[in-house]
Each structure stands twice: as structure tokens, then as C-alpha cells.
A and B are shown apart, each in its own frame.
Chain A
Amino acid sequence: MRGSSCRVAVLVCVVALLSSACSTADEPDADPDVATSPTAAATAADDSVTEATQAPPNADADDQSDTPSPTSTDTETEPATEDTGGGGGGTLVVAISQDPGNLNPAITTSGGTHTASEIIYNGLVRYDENLEIVPDLAESWDVTDDGATWTFSLRDDVVWHDGEPFTSEDVAFTFEEALLPFQSRMAASLTGVLESIETPDEQTVVFNFSEPYGPLLQQLHVSDAPILAAHVYEGVEDIQTADANLEPVGTGPFRFVSYAPDSEVRLERNPDYFKEGLPLLDELVMQIIPEDSNQVIALEAGEVDWLWGAPGPDLERLEATGDYEFLQTPFNPGGANCIMTVSFNLDRPILQDQAVRTAFAHALDRDVYLERILFGSGRVAEAPISSGIPFAHADDLDMPTFDPERANTLLDEAGWVRDGEGVRMAAGVEGIEDGTPLQMNFLSFPSFADYGEVMRQQLADVGIDLTLEPAEREAFIERVFVARDFDTNIISYCNQTDPEIGVRRMYISSNIQPIPFSNSSGYVNPDVDALFDQARSQVEIEERGDTYREIQEILVEELPYYWIVETDAIRVYTNRCSGFVPFGHFAEEASCEG
């Protein structure tokens, strides 16, 4: 795959059995944000995204938007016995890397919590397999012409796991008491523009904005806005420490049975699930296994059935056995549509010269990162906005490509002269003392040290001396976003499913703040600021797409950042089980034999 052939398809390469076309050599790993190992599994630390969405929007593959036909699934399961049907699909054991800590995904963006708990809940909407927004808890919606008032009609046949009916009160409660105060992403984007939430009746919710607000639907899937049961939190003083967070009550396909910290989370089929005939699995167990390589061993030993990701070479080995299936997706456990991105600190005189930034870009052979670090699971970045957001992604930009000759020429012309193979020195560079070596430091999480390693070698070829400075997450944040004491760095910026959420923050000048993973380069361009505001207020998705395209052209021209690779995760599961989807409620329609 490499290159073009699959590239676009990958996104929805969705079921790409690794074996088939899409993957041959790709092994995944790397989760972008996830730490250390390349593995995908739900780990913890991340970089950029700290958190998040582990599994993404909820898209279940298939058909039904809202009323699933009972027969809609694959599987060989036995007929439903009771209630709304489903069941008979056996037990699925899933390996997760991180202890969830709590099981309330509405008050945190922690990847550990989201991985383990999203399947217990639902959002108002979800993504289908084409990444289109389709109804989930909401049946339908309307937006006024000015784009500032959104009205949702909710399903009337949904009950919570404890039997209480689901109503609009739950939605209002979730936003007002949980998401807006405690979920940083929601707080950052809605605070200030969301004026009120009204509940005229039990089946209707109205969001009133102070100005047109286009991206709302993209923020209402289960990963970003899981809906909590208001009655469970009644009388609770502090929702963050509520006991209910450890005994979650949701509307989702599986309901909570038990949680043993650092050991396992047990869920069972929700017999009253509003999608008829689902889910099929009787039991879903999440076993916490911290080491990625040992997750693979547990899979091979048959102790677990599903991994969120695995080290690249292991995938090749597993593929060769023929006993496993694979699913490639840009939805990483730490966030969706992540791009490994180099920031140039634009406060630094050396890097203020665009020629230096462009030469830097031309010096990098980005295929090497894709092949050696990601083991092929991902794509070389073609644009500032991920190809996983098709409406906003611009695919034919004039992005600098690997061309060391061009890099050398640019640097020579800029006054950085080179004697033989050594490091270049300034000779007549404006604002820089002659004889200054072309040196810059490069901050990264230790887990991304491999990127720095490759970059240092590639830049040395054109006479740029890169000094690697690994920094633990907190020290990294401190130096990059608070002290702004760095030259270059690498961050896995996850674009999420809408540029308003995951892209805007990197570029707008008002976001040059001591906030983690904000505008790391310190990029200021009033035109870009204005265009982002314009995009947010456009309700028609095509119009927004055009605006984002305009933004990307400017960004590629000015190069405040350089976009290296888009990272994918590859899920692995035993072929005893089937019916998975790459994001959202991944196991809603899954079942296992034997």
C-alpha cells in the first residue's frame, strides 16, 4: 500500500483484512498518541491528544440508522430468545492497555476510560461506515436558517440499563453538569457560544447558540458526548467522584457487571437495547494488559480475542498464521485522525526564515517514518487536515516533498554555508551573527524518540544539526506551551472528526497560550484566524470545506508546521469472532464461536 493506491480507501479500509490488499506490509503500531510503544492499544499517554476518543465516533457499520431489522447482522448466532433479541454470541475478551479508573466517559477525555466505557453509552448521533452522521439516541434534528438553533427529537423507546426511561432531561443534565464543566474539549468549543439548552418536552432538546454554529453534529457522537442518566446522579455533590462512575448506567448495547481495578471490566448484553436483535455477544470482558507485546502473547494463547493494536512485526507474524483478522482505521485509541506534526517555533530567528523551514521539509524522506516507525500503518501526510475528514481535506496541495538537493540550494541561498559534510554556518543571514551553526533542538515525548532519531539523520545530510531532547509529557508541555523554550518539536495532533475540534486550535493566534497542544509554533496570521471563524459559522458542509481548503493552501505556503505522517491503528482479532467495526460501538454486532 504505500502510496496512492489504497490511501484514500484506507480510511474506510475499514474492514481491510490486513491480509488482503491494503496491507501487506503495513503493520501498525504507533498510535499516535499513545505513548511509547507503538502499539496501539489503548494506552495512556499521549501526546497530543491526550486523551480521548478512543474509539471514535460511533459508527456501526451498517445499515440501520435507527431501526435495525432483527436480521441485520451477520453472524451465525442463534436466534434471540427474549426481549429485543440478540445474544448467543458468546464471550468476547478484549485486551486494553490502561486501567480506566472510572467508567464515566462524559467527564474526561482519558483514553483508558473511553476505551472501556463507550460501549455502555450512546450519543445523540453516530457515524456510519461512510463517516456520515446518522441518528442514534436522537431520531431526527433541525437547524434554523441562521444556524444558531438546533432542535433534536429523541427516540421514545429507549430505557436505561436500570429500567428508567431515557428523556430530554438526561441530555440537558449531561451537557450542563458533566460535559461542559469537565470535558475539556467540549468546554473549549461550546463555552461562550452555547447560550442555553431547553427541554420543551420529554422527547425534544433545543440547543441555542449566540451565533451560527456549524460543527455541532460532529460533536454529538458517543466519543465526544456520551449521554448520562440524570437520575443516577441525583443528589450527587461532585460528579467527578460519584460512586455511580464506577457502576455506570447507560443505554448502550452492553451493561455493566463488575470492575476490578487494573484487572478487568466485565459487561453483559443489554437485553433491552433499543436496536432490535443486538447485541449478539452475551458477555464482553475487557482485560487490562499493560504490555503490548504481552497482549499479542495473550491473543496467541487464546486468552483474549481482540486487540486495539499491536507492534508491527507481530502483525506480520499473526497474519501468516491465518488465524486472525485485521481492521485498519485512523481512529486511534488516543484520538482520531492524528497527524505526526513538526512545529517550528516562530519566535526563533533562525526559524522565522521560511527558506529554512522549507529546506527542513525538503530534507525529510517521509516514507521512512511510515515504513520503519509505523510499519506502514498510515499515510504520508498530504495536507494539514487529515484525509480522515474528507469534506475538509485538500488532496492536491503543493506540499514540499523529499528533495535534499532543493534543501541544500535553499539553505545556500539563505546564507547558511557549508564546508564539506559538516554543519552549516551563518554567513550573512539577516539578524544572525556570522558563524552561528545551523543547530536546533527537537523536543518529543520519549515515546516518539524514533521520529527524532530518523529526523536527526536525515537533517544531518543537508547540514542541519538537530539535538534531540526527549521530555516526559509534563516537562514537554511546560517547555513548549508555557515557557516556549524550544526550536522544534513533534506532536501527534489529532484532528478528530471535525477541524473545528482538532485543527483550529493549532493555528489560530488567540490560542498561543500556555495550554497543552494549542498553537505550538506560535503561528499568527489574521487571515487564517478569520477563515476559521468563517468556517465555524457555515452550516453547509460544502461551504465549510471550501473555507478549510483555502486555509490549507495558506498553511502549506507558509509552513508554520510540517506534517509528517497520518497514523492508523490496526485492530487484530481471532477469526473465531466476527462482525466488528473499526470505530464507535466496535462490538455491537460482533459474535464469537465456540
Chain B
Amino acid sequence: MSKRAQSWGFDLLIGASIFLTGVLFFYVYVYSLSGGQVSKLDTFTNDGNKVANALLSSGSPENWNEGNVQKIGILSDGKINDTKLQEFYSFSISNYEKTKVLFNVNFDYYISFNDPIDAGNGQVLGIGREPVNPENLIKVTRVVIYNEKPETLNVIIWE
């Protein structure tokens, strides 16, 4: 009687182990199939939205500069403020990493419009680090008033 009971328990353990192993194997498979990519895409997208949302605000304080900035924003009255845009450009040149910190992003960013940006002392194509052989890259597109007309703001997040 006692042996029969032992064999029942043993068989059950083996069957259950095989079942659980199969389920575990499935989830590992699914995760390896897409899970890692989704996570990275989310991260990139989140970073892109963080940058875009920050930029499409008036920033903090309202008239921020590199010395007192808490949040980088380049709008005033719903439009791109050239002064803030130039300040942001200067800031990104002088302390790019700090801008990333302020944007709270892990990856590199690059901001551009359809038209070149007036950086104060000349025109530039974009602000931030231009992608060079990126391994991953996403682009978040927003529409904003720039130079008194609706324009596309492109935020590129890359690594």
C-alpha cells in the first residue's frame, strides 16, 4: 500500500514538472521572441515623448536660461520662442549630457524642423546629437507653430 502511494506521488511530481517546464519554456520563448524589443521600443518612445513634451512647453522657470533651468521648454504662447530655442541650442552645445538629464532620457536625442533652425549666430539643421550609425532609432513627430506657421517638430531618439 505504501509503495503504491509513493509511486502515485512520484508520477505526479514528474508530470507536474514536465508541465511546468513546458509552460516556462513557452514564456521564455515568447519573451525571447518579442519581449525585449517591446521594452526597448517603449523606452525609446517614452524618451521621445519626454523630450517632445518638455520642449513643447514653456519650460521652467518661464524665462529659463542655462543657469537656472529646471525644465527645458521652447514655447511661449503656444509658439516656438526663438530666444528659448537658441538658448536650448546653446545649452545642448555646452552641456549636452545635462540636457539629457533634464529631459530624463537615457538615449541620445536630436531635434529638427522641416526648415533649418536659426541658432542665433547662424542656421543649424538640428539640436542635439545627430544620429551616426544608430543601432536603434525612433522618431517622434509633433506639429508646432514655428516662424508663424504650422511646422513639424521631429524628435529622434537613438543609440
A and B: real partners?
no
B interface with A by C-beta (< 8 Å): none
